[in-house]
Each structure stands twice: as structure tokens, then as C-alpha cells.
Amino acid sequence: MRDDAGVLVVGGGYLGSAIARLVGPSVTVVRRDATPRPTRPLPAGARLVGLDLSTGEPEDVRRAFAHLAAERPVVATLARPQGSDARFYPIAARRLAEALPDHTTRLVWISSTSACPDVDGPVDEHTTGPVGPRGRMQRAAEEAVRTICSHRGIPWVIVRLGGLYGPSRPIGGWWTRRGPGAVVPGHGWIATNLVHLADAARIVLAAAREPRAEGRTLLAVAPDHTPRRLAYARAACARGEPPPRFEAPIPTDRRVRGKRVDGSHTATLLKYRFLHPVHAYGLR
């Protein structure tokens, strides 16, 4: 993407700030408030706007976006703040899609692979089936984006991201933070569906630019599906830590369980080559 493309990034957290750094000085970033975050640096010259999508009056939000979003792509990387309404995603999606000005060139809504059906086996963008409560919230948000943007004539793309990891968010880091005695629930012989931050940010920007992505639901997941138990052990080893303990033994048939999200069609459509097709361990 050209540096002067002027993307508007709504949500400047782990992923949003990485996208902003790729876009460069022409980027505008919306966070709940405009306080700079040292751990989520933005490029020099970036514009940072404080605007709370959930609590702001709809008319104020609309007025703010009238100036921010006209004639440029909008990338929404909002994540539910701790303690907020469980319906955060559908509420934020609806508010954003309604607030964007008519001339927004594209809304890229970041969803999650939790919206992919909970099947025991391969899943791609066409697989249908039921999901759990988290997936239902993500699907409700996606549906709000599709319906409102289609009705308003705003081009949209949905990108379902796998588990994000990278600098400061190592694989299995949530487990390590619980302390050395923590036991990971289950047997962990489950396919991983991860994506490195650097790949996620590039895939999202490619989705904002590629004409054939319009009106599609894409999957940003690396091709490596190493079972969680093994991936956590390798990450711990790379950090010089003992492997985690799992609650249950590996199933005797050693068949890897869980959904395996196939991101290959998205990579082909976007002509994207992963920087980290294989999980990168040892990141801090």
C-alpha cells in the first residue's frame, strides 16, 4: 500500500498500531482516548483521535467520522475492553457501519476464526455450521457489517483472524503468565490456528487494497497447524522454560483434534506470501 493512501485505523491496539506503522505518517488512528501508548507506538506524523464508539452519542460519532473517513479505506481492529458489554462486537460494528460517511471506499472489519464453525477437521471460508457464544458474537458483528454496508453501498471485507502472536505476545503466553504451576486445561492435542502480527497486519492491508476482496469473508491463518501442546512446549523451550503441564494425556490414537482453519484461498486471492508460514517461537 502506498504510504499516502491515508488509511483510517479504528482501534489502535496490538494489531491496529502494527497496521498504522506499516501505513506510515498518513495514517489516522482512533482509540478510546488520545493518550499515546508507549507499548503501541504509532508512526511519527500519524494523527491520533480519541473517540469512544460504544459510549459516544451516535450523532457525535457520525459527525466525527464525516471528517475522518471520507474517501479512504477504514480498517476496524476493535477488541472488547475488559468488563465491557458482552455484545461489544455487534454494537461496535453497527455503530461504525452506520457512522461512516457515504464515500468511504471500503470497510475492512476484523473478526476472528471463532466465527468459523466448530467442527473437528478442516474449515474454510465456505464451511457452515454452529459456533459457541464467542463465535456467535463475532458472527453477529459480521452480519451487521454486511447488512448495513451493503444497504448503504459501502464496499466491505471481513477478515477472520487466527490467534495473534508476536513480540510481547508469545505463543502460549497466557499460560506462562499464570505462573509455573499452572496446568493447561484439556489434552492440548488440538490444531493451532495462529497468525504472526507481521503477517496479520500485511494481510489486512492487502484486503483493504485488493479489488477482488470486496464483499468477501477472508481467513488470516498461517499454514502451520502444529498441535497446541507441541507449540506451547516449543515456545517454552525457546524461552528457556519447562514445557507446560496439560490436564489430560495425549489421546492414544494421536489424531489431532479441533478445527483446522485453511487460510490458503485468502493467501491466493491476495497473492500473499507469509513471512511466518511456520510458527515463530522464542518471541518475547
Ligand X SMILES: NC(=O)c1ccc[n+]([C@@H]2O[C@H](COP(=O)([O-])OP(=O)(O)OC[C@H]3O[C@@H](n4cnc5c(N)ncnc54)[C@H](OP(=O)(O)O)[C@@H]3O)[C@@H](O)[C@H]2O)c1
Catalogue the long-range contacts made by 66-70 (C-beta closer than 8 Å, 24 or more residues apart). Answer: 66/101, 68/8, 68/28, 68/30, 69/8, 69/100, 69/101, 69/104, 70/101, 70/103, 70/104
Q: What is the DSSP letter of 228?
A: H
Return the residue of 42, 158, 164, 206 that touches ligand X, per CB under 6 A: 164
Instruction: Among 77, 104, 193, 217, indicate the residue that binds ligand X (CB under 6 A).
Output: 77
Pick 141 or 236: Cβ nearer ligand X: 141
Of 112, 210, 94, 89, nearest to 152 by C-alpha is 94
The reply to whether 90 sits near ligand X by the rule CB under 6 A is: no
Asked whether position 163 contacts ligand X by CB under 6 A, the answer is yes
Closest Cα to residue 106, out of 2, 6, 37, 230?
6
Chain residues 182-241 in contact with ligand X, contact rule CB under 6 A: none
Residues contacting residue 63 through CB under 8 Å, at least 6 positions apart: none
> Would you count residue 53 as binding ligand X (CB under 6 A)?
yes
144 binds ligand X (CB under 6 A): no
Rounded to a whole number of angstroms, the minimum distance from the CB of residue 213 to ligand X is 17
Residue 66's nearest CA partner among 79, 80, 49 is 49
Q: Of residues 108, 110, 184, 236, which one binds ligand X by CB under 6 A?
A: 110
Does 52 bind ligand X (CB under 6 A)? Our answer is yes
Does 13 interact with ligand X (rule: CB under 6 A)?
Answer: yes
Question: Should residue 161 be labelled a site residue for ligand X when binding is judged by CB under 6 A?
Answer: yes
**Rounded distance, CA 74 to CA 44, Å?**
20
Report d(CA 115, CA 230) in Å as an integer: 25
Contact between 15 and ligand X per CB under 6 A: yes
In this chain, which of 31, 225, 228, 276 binds ligand X, going by CB under 6 A? 31
Cell numbers at residue 88, please? 461489544
Does residue 14 interact with ligand X by CB under 6 A? yes
- Piece of the chain touching ligand X by CB under 6 A; list 52-60, 61-69, 209-217, 271-279: 52-60
CB 172 within 8 A of CB 231: yes
Which positions touch ligand X (CB under 6 A)? 11-16, 30-33, 52-54, 77-79, 81, 92, 110, 112, 161, 163-164
